[in-house]
Amino acid sequence: MSEQTGRSRVKRCTFTLPETDEALIDQIQDLANRMGLRTPTRSEAVRAALKNLAWANERRFRSTFESLERIKTGRPPADEREP
């Protein structure tokens, strides 16, 4: 942590998610609302999920990891990008 601000340094990341995972982020945000919590940002929803996975036992971690859809990373060619 920085001594001046008392906060962790942050790193900007970009990554590719399938639409089904985007929908999971929306579900996490909706759950927080239903629980009376403030709506987490997309980044906070992903970070919370990462912490939850990090705390999982090995069996649950393996099961979750193996259930992930393999996706092609990187940007699509210019002619396939959304306008």
The string of DSSP letters for 23-60 reads HHHHHHHHHHHHTTPPPPPHHHHHHHHHHHHHTS-HHH
Nearest Cα residue to 45 out of 33, 55, 57: 33
Q: How confident is the model at residue 2 (pLDDT cuts 50, 70, 90)?
A: very low
pLDDT 10s digits, 3-19 = 455 788 888 888 888 89
pLDDT 10s digits, 33-80 = 999 999 999 999 999 999 998 998 999 999 988 998 888 877 777 776
The vertex-22 CA angle with 16 and 27, nearest 5°, equals 155
* Measured CA distances, 16 to 63, 67, 70 (Å): 21, 17, 11
Give the whole-angstrom CA distance, residue 47 versus residue 37: 16
Q: Yes or no: say if 18 and 69 are a contact pair by the CB < 8 Å rule.
A: yes
